[in-house]
Structure 1
Amino acid sequence: MTQLMINNVNFHVDMFEEKMITDANTGEELKRLNFSFSVVGKAAYDKYDAFFEDPYFEVTNMETKETLTLKNISHSTFYQSPEITDHTNIVFKVKLQQEPVKEKEQVKNEQPT
């Protein structure tokens, strides 16, 4: 099990995959994190579903101490019941990725001063 600190919230993740991908537009090598974690109940589901709506996250891998700012690519949830109750086990699957430096600079240059 891996521990991640995401925006100062500690996550014990069940599945963790870190891989390098090549950006199609810039050719840059970027780090992508895929991970999953579980919560129980509607209140926890609502809290974490809203948490992962943000566009960017500061992520620290607590094992390696590496900290990155990553863009939210996607998050999804899975559960095995007709509706979410206080006893439903919900699995979140999250995908975060570095943004190309060239794209970050372009966005910064396009913002009005």
Structure 2
Amino acid sequence: MRSPVLPLTWHLARSAGRRGFQSQLLAAGAAAVGAFVLLLMLAACLGSGARADRTTWRMPDAAPAGSATAVQAVTSTHVRHRPVTVVSLAQLPDRRPTPAPPGLSAFPKRGEVYVSPAWPG
């Protein structure tokens, strides 16, 4: 059985004249813009969630107080108008040796500074 909705819609659109047709086009355009904004917001929400999932490795979970071997503090600053992330590490006294952080051969001793090879100067 054929639905009478489409022929009725076409009949009403043609019988309303030019003004009615313009208002229907305007309504369709508004619906399209609304759908676009909705999809854009959904994409932004999903994209920010995916990005947050990829950056969680930068902030490790806190170890229980009894098994922690070091403390870490992360700050950001600007040098020559470029953002720089500073990670301060400190070995806790009277604890087992801390393994080397990723990219380093050994855990830094007090007063040692390691700089990224990508840093220009």
* TM-score normalized by the length of structure 1: 0.27
Q: Which has the higher strand share?
A: 1
Give 1 or 2 for the bigger CA radius of gyration: 2
Higher RCO structure (Cα 8 Å, ≥6 apart): 1
Q: Which has the higher helix share?
A: 2
